[in-house]
Every structure is written in structure tokens, then in C-alpha cells.
Structure 1
Amino acid sequence: MQLKYTTQPHQTKAITSIVDLFQGQNRQVCEYDIFDGEAVCGNGYILDDVAILENLQRVQRENGIEESLMLQSRDFSVEMETGTGKTYVYIKSILELYEKYGWNKYIIITPSIAIREGVLSSLASMKAHFSSQYRFPYDYFEYDSSRLGSLKHFIRDDGLQVMVMTIDSFKRANTILNMTQEGFAGTPKESLQKTNPILILDEPQNMESELSKTSIAELNPLFTLRFSATHKNYYNLIYTLTPREALAQGLVKQIDVLALSENQTVNDTYVNVLKIEIDKKSKRPVATLELIIKNKDEFVTKSVKIKGNDSLKDKTKNPIYSGFIVNEINAREMFIQFENGLRLELSQINGQVKRQIQEQQITEAIAMHMEKYEVLKAKNIKVLSLFFIDRVANFLEEEDGWMQRHFCQEFDRLKVNYESFKEIEASDVYKYYFAKRKSGYIDDLKNNDSDRKLAKKTYDLIMKEKEKLLSFEEKTSFIFSHSALKEGWDNPNVFFITTLNDTKSEMKKRQILGRGVRLAVDKFGNRVEDKEINRLTVVANESFDEFAKSLQLEYEASGVSDGSIPNNIKKKKVATRKYAEVELSNEFRALWKKLKSKTIFELKLDEERYKEKVIRKLQEIETREQKIVRQFGTIEDDIYGYVAEEKSYGLNFEQTLPDLVSLIEQEIGLTRKMIIEILGEVDLKPFIRNSDSYIKRALEAFDDAKHEVLTETADGIAYRENGEYYEFVNVFPDVLEGYDLEDCKRGLYDAEQWDSGIEKDFIGCADTHFKFFAKLPKRFKIKTPLGNYSPDFAVIKYDESEGAFVVETKGSDKHRDMRSREAWQISYAKKHFKFLDVKYKDKIKSCNDV
């Protein structure tokens, strides 16, 4: 089946914006130049930067974008929401630029093999469509370092040439492009530079490292066009189509979410015992566990090797594993036991909630798929479903394979109700795409030469079958993948995406949606524009609120949630300190003399009062029985959403209660005797009903009670000087550098650092309301029982009777939880400043509150 393409109005606007950047440019005729005996037919300029800037500003005005004040570079950004035809736009832009201006050398650069293969697939699919519109031929090819003949043609031919390559194919010094080769006057890159190619960067936010930027610049481009839905930096933005606009205009599928989550805890404490063996080096027993680990800003499921006394919390950097310290690994009886009392045998899984949720997701996805398949088959539209799994081993029958077994079992159970499926075997309706080495299938490939070749094989197979999947003659309608399809691949007829992996952060929501938001097509290749048909349902393993909030945060990070259109790159600023210590005003010198003293503290806990508070807090804890909550909702064009249906399912598994006393002892540091005395006064039925929820709230109760007693009693914490002092020049260096500096007249610097919008506003307000002020940097620290604390500002008021203050602004860090850690640090800081005889105010929203 051949997809049928049409140019849509929003695409025409984007293409026109690109072409109009060079209005006034005469059409060039490619003439050969000889460089060091090498014939080169390249691109050439006539327009200067002044003319291009005028064109750029006119295009920006027409598109409602803030005008660039200067042409920082010949880089131009186009922002288009995923699924709205970004690849179509830049391919047609190439053809338009060649037709109007005669520029004939273009390089499309991608950050990954997956995206490169997607581009090549699109070029092939669109060739017939564009050949019917343009009277000139054009060639495109994939750069291959083992076949440089195509590159030679690119350099010397006078026709339209398009080369597709990944950034990894040339950014390092040891790649073929950077080495002297036969048939080139120097290195292939040096020959390529002479053509002044026009660069198309697909997903440029993934090519922002210094090495990548330098390598791209070394290609000596005439100019660069940057296409993405999620730009990291905006270089002369010329066109934008936001997610909100795309949804409202019906350019992508509407988004529904079927959310399945556990009703009390965000994460069930998941531990899967994969292997227990004797380590060859240490000759001691070790265990390989599958755990949820923190990797940078993401939580992913990974195999981790564990030995005796290891803390799973430390190994994973994941707080859900508090109390999971290895007590024993027994390689003879094949079990692992933790200090919290939990014992697991080989192949046993703790955290059955996760598995039950995944099973329910598969069942729900099959049922919805079959129902929609029957409805849309009558309209000649085939329905596809995509599943992202957490581990290849969980799917493949030759390994664990429970997902494959559950899918087949549920398919056979449900198919009897649907004509299209009742006569089909489960094994005929699904395919999987996993990376494979000689040793077998794996979860992820590495970024090395051998694995890049394997990745290409995987994507070749996927891309070849992309359009085949749209045919009713092809029985496959369910697709399983681990990571192979997370970018570079989409299919217009994906109506259901089921996230069996840890998508709370492993894959970005927009990345997930991008695999299926494109408008559907019928079996003849025609686009379907009915909004009721074009609905993508995500079957998620988290609550609707979690999914919607994460999606909203991703849009906010791109600066498009409020309708604003950002432009240009943030520039680093420099601020200079205006006064030396001896030049400070008398008031600030007096304040600094107090502030610079470093202190230490002593704690004295009233145990009886502490026990009373803990018991009272524990008695107030209520828990609900653990259940799977099923929510169905819709994400609307404001990117927010609503829940239309909600119901709960009971869980079906036996749970071993953890050792509550040991957990509290480990986390809080109390004696077992005191913990047992406290728990003896408390009804533990809420703990039995839902241990995960109870433990979390009990630990908070023990911790909060301690800080309440220490801060409420006069002698709970006592500060004293330790004889050390902060040096003025160490806290306030001569020069500050940063992106977030606000100009001011009455600050210590000619621009003061800010960490939040509230701090930025406070600086502007302080500049007119105070005699003098200074932002206290993070290196100015006060010791507290909860670690170091840094206040925000030191201010001098005009009214001498009020004098000087240290100020904490409310919301100085949007990630702070003022109810817990930060609130207690502030309470301790008050004691510190009282000891130093310094006035201190917290929760300040405006300088008028000081």
C-alpha cells in the first residue's frame, strides 16, 4: 500500500517561512570550481546578513514571533508538534529552495540510527508524490563510510543531491570522514566543506554537546535549518506549531488515557530475584536482582548485582528501597533475605502489584483494540496497537515469557466475541522488534560500531514493514517493542499505546504519544480527518493525574504551555561586585560582622514529650486496602484533562509484612526498646491493611515529632560559635557569571543572581524599596540537623529603626516541599539567627512583606 500525501495549510506556511528568509536571492546556476585538482559544484550566497535579518524579522512578524534583534548565526529553527509533518516540510523545503534559488547540496543530520532510518523511509515513500509536483530529478542516499562513491557524486554533481547521515558518523576524529582517503583532495570532510552544504538538523536538541556543535560547524554550511517539537535552544525561530494548536486544529489524534495504578503508593517495592550464584572472584554468594533504579533524572528497571550487607536504597538511588539491606544470600538453598524480614527465593518477585497492573493493562488493551478494530474495519481503517515492555526476558517464551503467555491467553479468551479475530491464532496477530546479538535478544544496544550495525538491521526490518502493517491482508495488528520504536518510527494507524515499562520517567510522555498521534489513513492510503475516529488511547501504569501532570511539565519545559513563543538562545551574563568589604555601608558591615560567624549546634530531645507526639501522630494514620484504580480520561487541547470514569479492582496476592521495628530503627535511629514501647500504644490494623502506605506515614510521624520537639522547646537545639568565619571575598567574589542575573542599582552587584521567578521579582522590588541588598549565594551555609541551609537575601531598610534583615522568599525553589525538610531547616535557622542577634523573616513573597 502506498500512502497518499497532500500539502496541508500549516505545512505550506512553514515552507513559505523558510523560502522567504532568502527573498532577494537570485537563482544560482551551479558552476564547477577546481580546488586542489578536485571538481566541486557547491552552494553560493549573494545575500548579506543585513538582508537576511530584514527577511527574518518580516517572517517572524507574520508568524507572531518575537523579532530577533540581530543575526547571531545562520541557524533557523522550525518548531512543529510531532505528527504534523515535520519531515514532509523539510523535504519539500529542500525542493522549493532548489527550484527558487538553485542551491543543490543538502545534508540531513540525525542524532540516531532510528531517526535516520525513519528519514530514509520517508524520502522513499514521498518520492512519487514529489516527482509529480516538480519537473527536476533529485537523488538522496544514506552516507556509508564503506562506500564513498556516493559522496564523490554529492561533491561534484550539478543536480539536486540530498545526503542523510547521523552525527556519530563524523563527529569524532577517528571516523572515515576525518581521515585522508583515496580520490579526495585531503579528507572527505575537507572536500565536503567546499560545497557549502545546507544542513537540515532533525531533533537538534540531541546534538547540543560542544563536540557535536563543533563538528556541525566544521561542515562549513551555507546555513542550517533546525526541526524539532522540543527544541532545547531557539536559534532565530521562524515558525512554530504548538501541541495546543495541533490538537485544537485536529492536525493530530485526540488523546485519551486509560490509567491503571495502585491506590495508595506511587511505587510498589519491586524486587525480582533473577540469579543467585557464587562470585568467581570473591568466592562468596551474590544475587542478581531486577530493581527500579534512578539513572540521572529517570527511573528505569535494571539488573543489579548484590552482595551481603548491600543497601538496595544506596545501590538504586531509589528511596522506595529504604530498609532493604541484605542480611543473607544463600546459594545452597537459593534465597536472599533482608534486614526488614523479607525473604525471597530464586525467581520469586516481591511487589506483585506491578505485575498485576501490567496484566490488567494487557487485558484492557486487547479488549479495546478488538472493539475498535471491528468498528473501523467497516470504514476500511486498520487498527494497530503498540506495547512498550520493561524487559525482553519478560516477553520471550524461551526466557521468562509471562507477558507473551498472558497476551495469548487473554487474546484467546476475548476473541470469541469478535468476528475479525475468532478464527485467528494468537501467534498470528503480534510481532516483536527487539535488538539482537549472537547471544540472543537484549534490552538496549550500546553506542559502538557493532551495536550500530545491529540497530540498522533492526530498523531495516521495522521500516520495511511499516506500510505493510496497514493492510488487512497482514494479520499482525499488535506490536511489541522494548526501545527499538521509541523514536524515528511512527504509524498513522496506531490507536493504542500500552506502557508496560516504568514510564513515570523512563520515556517522556511526548515521546510515547509521538508513536501514534499522526492522523490515521484508510486501506487506500487516504488520510482520515474525522476527529471521532482519530483518538489515541494510552494504557498507562500510573494515575491519570500523574500522566497529565508529567505531560504538562514537559510542555512547560518547552515554553509552549502558556501560548508564549520563545526565541533565541539564552546568553550568559556577567555581574561585577560594586563594593569591597571596607567600602560597605556601616549598616551592612555591622550585619556582615554577625552573619560571617560560623556556628555548631547541640541537641537535647525530651524523650517523654517525643513519645507522646509520635503516638498521637501514629494514632491518626488511616490506610485503605490496596487496590488497582482504573481511570479513563481525556487530555484536551489546553493540555490539561479530566477523568470521565473511575473504578477499583481488588488485588489477589499474599503479602509478607515487613519488619516495621527494624525499618524505623534503620531510618530514624531510635533504640528498638523505644520503638517497641511506642508501637505498643498504637493500633496496628492500618499497618496490616496496607503496609506500604503505613510505613511511609509512620516514618514521617517519627521524623516530624522529633523536629517539632527540638524546635518548640527552648533547649531542644542550642547554637554556639565555633570560632570560624566566612571570608567576604569567598562568599562574594569579584565577578558572577550566569544566565539568571537581574540588573539592579542597589544590590551588592550590578546584577544579582536569582533562582526562581519570585526571587527575580524580589530583586526588582528591592531595588526601589531598600537602601541596600545582597543575594546570599548557596556557598553561604548554616548547619542544621537536616543538613546545610542557605537563606536568600540580606537587606538594609531605609528606616534605621527597623535596620537589617535576612530574608527567605517563599517559592525560591519550585521543587521544595515547605511542609517537610525545608520547613524544619527554616525553624532551625531561626534559632541560629536569634543566637547571632540577626532579624530573620521567612515566607516572603514580596519586598513589601519585609
Structure 2
Amino acid sequence: MELILQRGLPHQQKAVDAISAALNGVQITPPVQFYENPSISLSDPKLAENIREIQKNIPAEYRSSMPIGDYLNIDIKMETGTGKTYVYTHTIYELHKRYGLNKFIIAVPSLAIKAGTAQFLRDEYVKRHFSDVCGYGTEIEVGVLEAPKNKKKGRSYFPSVVSDFVKGSCQNTKKIYVLLVNMQLLVVRSNGMLSRDDYDYGVEGFYRPLDAIRATNPVVIIDEPHRFSRDQKAFKVIVDEIKPQCIIRFGATFPETTSGRGKNKITVKDYQNLLYDLNACEAFNQNLIKGVTKEHFEPVSKREEKVKITSITSKDSVTFQYKKRDESTKTFTLKTGDSLSIINEAFEGITIHAIGKSTVEFSNGIQKSSGEELDVDIYMTSYQEQMIRLALERHFETEKANFCGRNFKIKTLALFFIDDISSYRPNEEGKTPYLLQAFERLLKERIESVLSTLSEHDTEYRAYLEASLADISACHAGYFSQDNSDSDEDIAKEVETILHGKKQLLSFKNKDGSYNTLRFLFSKWTLKEGWDNPNVFTIAKLRSSGSENSKLQEVGRGLRLPVDENGNRISNEEFQLNYIVDFTEADFAKRLIDQINGEIPQASSISEERLEQVAKKLGMTSDELFDALYDKHYIDRRLNIKPDTRDAFFAEYPDFATGLSSGKVKDRNVAKPRPVKIRKAVYSEIRELWEAINQRYLLFYDDDLDADMAKVVLSLLEKPGVFTDVVMTSSRDIVKSDGSQMMIVSDTGAQYIVSKPIPYNEFLKRITNATNIPIKVLHEALCEYVKRNGTINPERINENSVSMFIQQFHDWRSNNLQGRFHYAKSNTPVGATALTYSDGSPREDIAQGRIGTKIAPGTPSEKYLYDAFAYDSPLEQKNIMSDIEEVIVYGKIPRSSIAIPTITGGMYSPDFMYVVRKASGEKELNIVVETKDVENKSDLRGTEKAKIDCARVFFDMLSKDGYTVYFRDQLNNKQMAQIIKEVLAE
């Protein structure tokens, strides 16, 4: 197949046009020597004028005001997957056509990027595209600078690639000369191939390659500029040694610069003359790249077992602490070669590879320092297998749609990142590694499952799957850095296909007409920047460690829009990249969105159109909304956003924060919630009520319950679904755009049954700990269950069955214990409370979070206990802001401050307390209210209803003990004034 490039895609053409327009009308001097580029007059005022004009389309925050110095710097920001390589190649052709420039250097940070770029520039379909389709009629001659592999004694040869580049004549209008070099070769060393000057011959009188390259007066293109910061050695060589007249940086990410210290420290992106900004949000909004669907499994055990490195004895030994919840910590000291399975069987196959002065490296390639931890759950083989199974399920869902659901077919690829090479590559003994073995077994199972679901019309896809089933090993391949030095012929073929055989990977057929089933690729983050394939639809990050890397960089290998079997780019549909991670990165989608939205500078003004849109959404006219914003000093008469109130503006009106999530606005200038003041005068009025409801009471069950418990347990064991398999369920989040900002939409996950039995004694203990049912009663009930129902499958003595029984018991308790318990006052004195110190005096303030997560503007009534409107729900806000005549004082009860024991096993704390005066003024009534923002009692969950019923019994007992309190629940259809009126009527 041939990849078909598309000419004139707007998001790519704009970048090319912006660079070309920067030189429009600028004085350019013809070269003196045949090997020189024409010279751009950097002092021509027209150059700065052009840049200012082009930058009107760029956010003000990104416009560089730095003067043009010894060279012209131009920046182009394009998100991963939008075609940077194509754009800078197109730029080279355009600058040659318009201004005669034909000596270009492309600097890249890695060998992988260099290989991909070289392949693109040299490919015949690319040459034909620019020569014929774009009409340039010119050809690029690319020289790839490589490190010398063998140093020959005797004569010293000047690098031929440099020689050819320099000797290329600028008078040849049909040739453009490009020198492709990776970062490592640019770093100057005393004997570096570019910096030495002792070659036997030179070129055009130059014996030092860097001097020869400088003489060409080149234009340098930098790919991935975040790897070339201005203080980085390779960049300094470019500026100081090559001295180009122009540097054009193309990247999705740019380096950062920092100025100031402490509170005055400011970090900004190092943009200089940024002419085009195609950020991630725009790329998603315009459907220029795939969407992202993150998915993860929760851990099966959830025991939170961790292994912490406590100390490292230099190059000798490592001390670990094994921490298991509710158990004592164990210490292990291991040396090089020791297996981590000594600590826990989950680490089977992982050994200590090397010990440094302050770090330890494991056989799976992970390196840790003292103080760092390993999460046992991630290293469980069963957990990793389920991630593979989930990735395969998502792959085949997508593959079937791409193969059978259209008039054309799309070859669908999946990429697995692993951290243990030995788990995939066969060892010297020829033993099949556990990960490879598991993958091939799961792949076989999945293909057989998919085959069983195909209809009689899916004949071609059936043949493709049957070919896959016939040779499972042909379906997958791997590439790791150590493969570059491996002499194995089969591995070499895999590497060649993955690194350089993009078209082969995208093809359904081999040259002999047989099916090409290779579509599952394994790597150890070697395939990152520089490698991509448009048809990667699934990425599984097995055994990841929750890195702080750029989330966009991580998904970048799969963001490109796909191509069909004929090489056509498909841009008129929405596609999703499935991204599978472990539970330590459960917030991946949120962090990705934060990163995407965080790249967008906040607007400095709002448009009339936006004002109209938001006003309509808020049920106002645009004039009314304008007046409101103007009165609050958020905007001026020209709709400019006032800098000193912009944070409050975006917080109150998040619809105007285009492209940004509301959380991102808050993150930039987050203010810690201030403590809320307790009004002492109000507290003195409510003190008696507060102290009464803080009295400690104990809950006692009726004596006859013990006699019935064995029958109850047996009846619960016999309920359908109590004994069940362990099921792993994934959580799937889709990253989408609603046209203005990124958002997360939850989608259906996957479920798998896994083998995870637990010992019988552990089974009993866990139930007892959660229910307080004696172990003896449980055991006898289980024995009776077996007599009645037969032997229990040992696989079902597992954590899920524990959970199901506990759930059934809690439901039974909530529904059957009402009326079979009572409260009795404890002799324990009331100590310090949420509102008072141990001596009973009121506190000065309380943390806002104890009484409400949100703050409404304004000052509460003098009757209110606190000096701020802190609330959780709209109904609570109404209650706080309602000034009811009969109320003497009232207040929100701090969260979890009153400990009323309930039959659900937990404690209960109501929401509001009121002291109310009767109409006659003779007596004060105490009212405690539970606020629920639901329409009616039927909307309450069972446990919530049980807690409220317990509270009624508690306050009845409190009244019997001499302090009368009226307890009421408030649902959404009743106002507080109505409740108070009803109580007063009693």
C-alpha cells in the first residue's frame, strides 16, 4: 500500500503560510559562495512588522517582545499527531521556492525520531507528493549524519555526509540539501566527529566539520524543542558553532524559563516569535486527532500492601519494609541477584539487578531510590493479565468496526508498554516468558470468542481471524533498546518492521498475498517521541508507576487520525484511542484534561456573540448580563475583562472560561478556605441545645436477637448471589470536547472472572470484623448450609462472597432491627466538641469544610451561628439565608460532630439546629433538622432512611430524659418555615 498525503489541510497550511509570510518583503541578499544560502537581513524593519502582524492571531500571553538578535527565531506549536514532520518538510520546499533557501539542518533529540524523519524524507510517495501534487518540481537530497561505527587506524576521513551537504550548489534550483542530525552528535567534545580538525582532507578549505556547516549560512529546524532548552549543550552548539541565520522550532511542547525567586518566581513557556498555535484543545475540538478513552481496573485485594525502600547500602544491599494493613511491618535485606518474591509472591520473576550509591535497579528496568514504594497489587500477575485481557477486548471491538463497519477497511494496531523485557523475550534456555505466554493464551481465547459471534456476512474478517489463530506468534512483535545490539535474525526482522515498516504494519496482506496479522506491538517506552503509527487504537501501559510525564506525550503515539487499506487519511469521523492504565493512574483522564485546558491562556475580553450565548443559557438578555458583569466590576464598557477581578469572574461565570475547565481556573490562583468565625453571642443562646445533643448514648439490642442469629445467617447465606466469583470491573472515561472545553464522559467498562480464593479462616474473620457476628455462629451456619445445599466451590470462598454476605447482612439489619433496640445514656462526660473546648467555652472559629464546601457571598443574619454562608446543597443554602421571625438562633451542625449510634453500624449526625420561641413568648422549642435534597421519602436510600429512623428514637429518648428536642426531616418540597410552623402548632 502507499500512504496518500493530503495537500492544503487548513491546520497545516496555516503554519507554512505564517513562516513564509514572516519573510515577505524582507531584504534577502544573494549568496557570495556557491555553497551558501541567501542571507536574510535581520535588521530590516519589515521583518519585525511582519511578525507583529502575524501574531495578531496568537494569544497576547504568547507574543514574544524579544528583539531579533544574531539569528531569527520562529516558533510553530502543533499538537502531537497533527503532522509536524509534514509541515516542516512543506516549509522547506516553500522557503526554497519563494526565497531561494536550500541549505537546511534538521536537529532531532533521538535516534528514533531521526529514523522516522529520514524515512519520511526519503520515501518515494513523499517525494512525488511535493514534486507532483504540490507542484514544486524540486527534490530534497537528505544526508543523515551517523556516528562512526568503526575507527580505522591510519587515515582520518572527513564525514562524507557533511561534505556532500556543503558542496551542494545553491545555484541548483532543482535540489534542496538537508542535513539530518540527532542531538548527541551535536554535543562538542574534543574528539567529536564534528568538532575535530585533524582530518586528512576537508571541504572547500574547511577541515573542521562545524566550520564547514557554518559557512553554508543554514536554516536550522528543531524538532521537539522541549528537548533543546537554551541552556542545553546541543542547542548551544547550534547557536555558537553553527550560527544559523534562522532557527525554526516545531513542537507540541516547548521548554520553560523561570525568573524571580520565592513568591515572585514566575515560570513561562519559552516562546520566541510564536507564529502559529495549534494547541491540544484546538486539535481535539477540530477532530484533527483521535479522542482518548482512559480505562483502569481497581485492585482485586484492596489491601494496600506496599514495599518501601528504607535504606540502600552502597553497591551492597537494600533494606525493604513490607507494610500490610492491620499487620506488623516486616523488614527484609536483599542483595544483587536476590528475588523480590522473598518479600511477596506477587514479585515473582523480579530480581535486584544492580545497587548504586543511592538507587536500586530491578530486573524489570525500574529504578527506585530510598524512600520510594512499590505497590504489591500492580505486580500481581493476575492484575496484569486482566489489563491485557481488557486491552484485547477493546482492540477487537475497534478492529471489528474498522474491518466490517465501513465501505473501506482500517488495519487496527495495539501497543503494549511493559517494564520487564525478560517477561516478553524468550531467555537463553528457550523457556517461554510468563507475559508472552499469558498474552498468547488470552489472544487465542479472544479470537475464538470473536469468531463465534461473526455473522455469515463477515467472511473476510473471519478469514483474517482464522489466519491469526493459525499462527498466534505472527500477530505480535516487540522492540526494545537492547534489540539494537542483538544478533538474532528474527528479532532484527521485528525491529525493522516496527521502526521502519510503517506501510507494512498498515497492510492487511503480505507481498505473497497471505494475511499480514501483525498488529500487537510490545515495547519498554522505547517507542515514544519520534515513533508513531496512525492506526494505533489501543495503548496498554502495563505495570505503570504513575509517572509525572506529560500525559499528552504518553498518548501521543496513538493520536494521529487513521488511514484505510489504500493509504487514505480518514478525517470525517470521530475515533477514540483506548488507553489502559493501572489503578495508580485512575485520575489520568482528569490530569490529561487539566494539561490540555491549562495550555490555553485565559481570554482578555469577551465577544458580543459569547455574551449572547451565555445570557441565553442563564435565562437573561445580553443587556441584563452585561449590566450584571459591569456592576460587579468584572468587565469594562468595551467588554474587556478586568485583570484584578478575572479570577472571581471565571469562578462565578465559568461559561466564559472558554477552553478551560472550571477546576483549572481555580487551580491557578487557589485560595485556601478561611476558617469560619463562631459568633459567641449566638452560641450562648444555642449552648443548652448543643450540649444536650452531644450527650453520649449507647445502643442496645434486644436480648432475643442472639437466639435468632444462627437462623438469620443461614437465610442470608442461602440468598442467590451470595457465593459468587471474583469479578474485575474496569472504569472507562472518554475524553471529549463539547466545542468549547474538554470534558470526561463515563462509558461502559468490562468485567472478567478471575481465580482469587482466600483461606476459610480468613473468610470467617473478615465477615466477623464487619458484622460482629461471632465466628462460631458463622461456622455453624455454613456447616448447616453445606448439609442443605451441598459443598461450596472453593473458588467461591473469596473476597466477593465476603462482600456480598456483608451487604446482605447490612440490608437485613436496616430492614429488621427497627423496634428491637433502645438507647441508654452513658456516664461519659461531654468533652471538647466541634464548637467548644473541653471546658465548655466556645471556639473562635471552625474549618469551613466542617460546615460546607461552598461559600455564598454576603453576611448571614445576626441569628446565625457563623459569620459566613458555608453550605453543601442548594437546599442548605436556602435554609441559611431564610430569616424566619420565630427563630431565636440557628446553625449548621458541623459534619460528623454528633455521634448517634445507629443499627447500620455507623454513627449519625443531623444537619441543622434551631431554637424557636413560641408565639406567646413563654417557652423555647429546640428543633433538630435533617436536610435531604430529594423530592420525597421514597427517594431515600435504605441506610439513610434507617439512620433517620434511629435518630427519631434517639431524640425521643433524649426528651424522656428531660430535654425535649423535636426532630424533623426536610425534603425538597418543604421549606424550613413550614417545619417550624408545624412544630409550633404541636
Q: Residues 41 and 157 of structure 1 are in contact (CA less than 8 Å); yes or no, is this contact kept in structure 2?
A: no
Aligned counterparts of 2:547 and 2:338: Cα–Cα separation in 1: 37
Query: Match for residue 237 of structure 2?
Result: 215
| Structure 1 residues 22 and 552: CA distance shift in structure 2, 3 A | same
Partner Cα distance (2:140, 2:392) in 1? 44
Say whether residues 1:358 and 2:418 are aligned partners.
no
Distance 1:487 1:319, change over 3 A: farther
**Contact 2:19/2:91 (8 A) holds in 1:** yes
Instruction: Say if 1:539 and 1:337 are closer, same or farther in 2 by CA, change over 3 A.
Output: closer
2:142 maps to which residue? 140
Select which of 56, 65, 87 maps to 1:69.
65
CA shift digits 1:293-330 (9 cap, x unpaired): 99xxxxxxxx99997771359xxxx9999986534669
Aligned-pair CA distance for 1:246:
0.8
Does the residue aligned with 1:487 lie in a helix, a strand or coil? coil
Q: Is the 8 A contact 1:261 1:630 kept in 2?
A: yes
Match of 1:381 in 2: 410
Q: Is residue 43–residue 222 contact of structure 1 (8 Å, CA) maintained in 2?
A: no
Aligned counterparts of 2:485 and 2:433: Cα–Cα separation in 1: 17
Bigger Rg over Cα: 2
1:155 partner letter: V
User: Does the residue aligned with 1:485 lie in a helix, a strand or coil?
Assistant: coil
- Aligned-partner SS, 1:528: coil
- Cα distance between partner residues in 2 of 1:92 and 1:293: 55
**From 418, 435, 455, the counterpart of 1:403:** 435
Q: Who is 2:396 aligned against?
A: 370
Q: 1:429 to 1:330 in 2, by over 3 A?
A: closer
Aligned pair in 2 of structure 1 residues 498, 157: CA closer, same or farther (>3 Å)? same
Counterpart contact for 2:340–2:350, Cα < 8 Å: no
State whether residues 111 and 206 of structure 1, in contact with CA within 8 Å, keep that contact through their aligned partners in structure 2. yes
Q: Distance in 1 between matches of 2:386 and 2:278?
A: 36
Note the 1:549-560 alignment, pairs <5 A.
549-555=590-596, 559-560=599-600
What is the match of residue 636 of structure 1? 736
* Cα distance between partner residues in 1 of 2:144 and 2:168: 16
Q: 1:361 to 1:328 in 2, by over 3 A?
A: closer
Q: Give the letter for the 2:236 counterpart.
A: T
Match of 2:192 in 1: 175
1:431 pairs with one of 462, 474, 477 = 477
Bigger mean CA offset, 121-130 vs 80-89: 121-130
- Give unpaired runs (5+ residues) of structure 2: 149-157, 171-175, 256-269, 352-375, 452-461, 510-515, 606-697, 699-724, 763-768, 776-797, 801-832, 840-986
Structure 1 residue 516: Cα displacement:
1.3
**1:458 Cα offset (Å):** 8.5
CA distance in 2, matches of 1:197, 1:170: 15
Task: Tell me which moved more, 93-102 or 48-57.
Answer: 48-57
CA contact (8 A) 2:597 2:742 kept: no
Cα 1:79–1:346, aligned 2, differ >3 Å: closer, same or farther?
closer
Task: State how 1:424-573 maps to structure 2 within 5 Å.
Answer: 424=468, 425-436=471-482, 461-473=497-509, 474-502=516-544, 504-505=546-547, 508-532=550-574, 534-542=575-583, 545-555=586-596, 559-560=599-600
Q: How far apart, in 2, do the equivalents of 1:312 and 1:93 lie? A: 57
405, 419, 423: which one aligns with 1:390: 419
Match of 2:222 among 179, 201, 206: 201
Q: What is the CA distance between 1:69 and its match in structure 2?
A: 3.0
Q: Is the contact between residue 433 and residue 462 of structure 1 (CA under 8 Å) also seen in structure 2?
A: yes
Query: For the structure 1 residues 344 and 523, does the alpha-carbon distance in structure 2 shift closer, same or farther, using more than 3 Å as the test?
Result: closer
Q: Secondary structure at the match of 2:94?
A: helix
Q: TM-score, normalised by structure 2?
A: 0.51
* 1:213, distance to aligned residue in structure 2 (A): 2.9
User: Which of 116, 119, 123 is the equivalent residue of 1:118?
Assistant: 116
Aligned-partner residue type, residue 140 of structure 1:
V
Instruction: Give the AA of the match of 1:202.
Output: D
Does residue 1:55 correspond to 2:47, yes or no?
A: no
- Does residue 187 of the first structure (1) align with residue 213 of the second (2)? no
* Shift, 1:360, TM fit: 1.2
* Counterpart secondary structure, 2:319: coil
Q: How many residues are aligned here?
A: 564
Task: Map Cα deviations across residues 802-828 of structure 1 (whole Å, 9 max, x no partner).
Answer: xxxxxxxxxxxxxxxxxxxxxxxxxxx
Q: Kindly tell me: are residues 562 and 179 of structure 1, through their superposed partners in 2, closer, same or farther at Cα, counting changes over 3 Å?
A: same
Name the aligned partner's letter for residue 381 of structure 1: I
> Which residue in 1 is equivalent to 2:783?
none
Structure 1 pair 229/197, CA: closer, same or farther in 2 (3 Å)?
A: same
Q: Give the stretch that moved more between structures: 495-504 or 518-527.
A: 495-504
The residue that corresponds to 1:247 in the other structure is 284
For the residues of structure 2 that align with 1:332 and 1:386, how far apart are their CA atoms? 30
The residue type paired with residue 183 of structure 1 is G
The alignment status of 1:231 with 2:242, answered yes or no, reads no
> Helix, strand or coil: the match of 2:521?
strand
CA deviations over 1:227-275 (Å, ceiling 9, x no partner)? 111112212211101111111111111222232232786x95467xxxx
After TM superposition, list the pairs within 5 Å mapping 1:199-348 onto structure 2: 199-208=220-229, 209-218=231-240, 219-232=242-255, 233-262=270-299, 269=305, 310-311=319-320, 326-327=331-332, 347=349
Equivalent residues of 2:305, 2:324 under 8 A apart: no
SS of 2:466 mapped into structure 1: coil
AA at the equivalent of 1:560: I
Please list, as runs of the form range in 1=range in 2, the aligned pairs for 1:415-814 lying within 5 A after superposition: 415-416=447-448, 417-418=450-451, 419=462, 420-424=464-468, 425-436=471-482, 461-473=497-509, 474-502=516-544, 504-505=546-547, 508-532=550-574, 534-542=575-583, 545-555=586-596, 559-560=599-600, 628-637=728-737, 638-645=741-748, 652-653=755-756
Equivalent-residue separation in structure 2 for 1:323 and 1:71 (angstroms) = 64
Secondary structure of residue in 1 paired with 2:24? coil
Q: Is the Cα–Cα contact under 8 Å of residues 538 and 577 in structure 2 kept in the other structure?
A: yes
Closer, same or farther: CA 642–354 of 1 in aligned 2, 3 Å: farther
In the other structure, the counterpart of 2:128 is 128
Paired residue secondary structure (2:745): strand
- Percent identity over the alignment? 26
Contact in 2 for aligned 1:49/1:71 (Cα 8 Å) = no
- Tell me, what secondary structure is at the counterpart of 1:179? coil
Q: Cα distance 1:45–1:321, how it changes in 2: closer, same or farther (>3 A)?
A: farther
Name the residue aligned to 1:149: 160
Q: Give 1:143's aligned amino acid.
A: L
Shift of 1:626: 9.6
The alignment partner of 1:177 has SS state of: coil
* Bigger relative CO (Cα 8 Å, ≥ 6 apart): 1
The alignment's C-alpha RMSD in Å is 4.6
1:28-107 aligned at under 5 Å gives the runs 29-32=30-33, 40-48=35-43, 50-66=45-61, 67-71=63-67, 73=69, 74-107=72-105
Change (3 A) 1:65 1:351: same
Could you tell me which amino acid in structure 2 is paired with residue 127 of structure 1?
K
- Cα pair distance change 1:82/1:93, threshold 3 Å: same
- Structure 1 counterpart of 2:182, from 166, 182, 193: 166
CA distance in 2, matches of 1:128, 1:247: 30
CA distance in 1, matches of 2:392, 2:590: 26
In the aligned structure 1, how far is the partner of 2:335 from the partner of 2:138? 73
SS of 1:436's equivalent? helix
Please give the secondary structure, in 1, of the residue aligned with 2:522: strand
Cα 1:90–1:563 shift into 2, 3 Å: farther
What's the CA shift string for 1:382-410, capped at 9, x where partnerless? 11111111211122243672221111111
CA distance in 2, matches of 1:556, 1:309: 42
